Structure 1
Amino acid sequence: MRVLTASWAAWVSAFELRCKQLPGDPDDTSGACPDCGAEALRLSFSGLERDRVGYASFWCDACLVGIHLSRCLVPEGASMESLHTPVEERSVRVPDYTLLWPDEPPADE
């Protein structure tokens, strides 16, 4: 089993940085992966065009680790797949990557 080294916060920071670069090139993989350091980060949005609200899949193509965010705002101009488009017909194929979950809050003592 592979040990994940990056925190949820590190992944969210990388996601926010990528979002600031949008609309940009949808095939851009720049930005170091918080886990393995490869320049292989990918971002895909699925949602409702009218509302620009949806889901974000953000992962590294090199180590296949990443995060998934739901009910997030899709930046204006960013590519977005419709939730109504069948998965097999979507232009971006999101791999079966290892999801990193939010950090557990400290237990109250």
Structure 2
Amino acid sequence: MINSKFKQWLQLAAIVKETYPNVPKFKCPSCSSGNINFEYIGDAIRRKGYFLIWCNECLEGILISRIEIPEKATVIPFGATPDQTSHIPNYTKVLP
């Protein structure tokens, strides 16, 4: 059985993908804060990579690998420098 909190995070990830670049504000499934952030990391040409979404308040979120990156999304490249990823916290991954 899938963790209900993980499922809610997956739903937020789907909203981001469907609405990018006009992503609506939404609340954290873990703490109800509106301070959610996300990044796509991968290959900007092939539009493949992974997706990070987290809450800046409770520092929980998920990572989804092997995702198609939306055409207009900004992509941090694989092997990015620490300067390119320093804003991504070491958050706790909610598990399925």
TM-score by length of 2: 0.86
Contact 1:40–1:60 (CA under 8 A) maintained in structure 2: yes
Q: CA deviation at 1:6?
A: 5.2
Q: Structure 1: any 5+ residue segments left out of the alignment?
A: 103-109
Q: CA deviation at 1:19?
A: 1.9
Structure showing the higher strand proportion among its residues: 2
Q: Which has the larger radius of gyration?
A: 1
1:19 to 17, 20, 38: 17
Q: Are 2:90 and 1:96 equivalent residues in the alignment?
A: yes
RMSD of aligned residue pairs (Cα, Å): 2.0
TM-score by length of 1: 0.77
2:50 to 48, 52, 55: 55
Range moving further from structure 2, 92-101 or 56-65: 92-101
> What residue is the counterpart of 2:66 in the other structure?
71
Q: Are 2:6 and 1:8 equivalent residues in the alignment?
A: yes
Structure showing the higher helix proportion among its residues: 2
Greater relative contact order (Cα < 8 A, sep 6+): 2
Per the alignment, do residues 62 and 35 of structure 1 end up closer, same or farther by CA in structure 2, a change over 3 Å counting? same
Find runs of 4+ consecutive structure 1 residues off by over 4 angstroms: none
Query: Residue type of the partner of 2:61?
Result: G
Q: Structure 2: any 5+ residue segments left out of the alignment?
A: none
C-alpha distance in structure 2 between counterparts of 1:100 and 1:77, whole Å: 27
Identical amino acids, percent of aligned pairs: 26
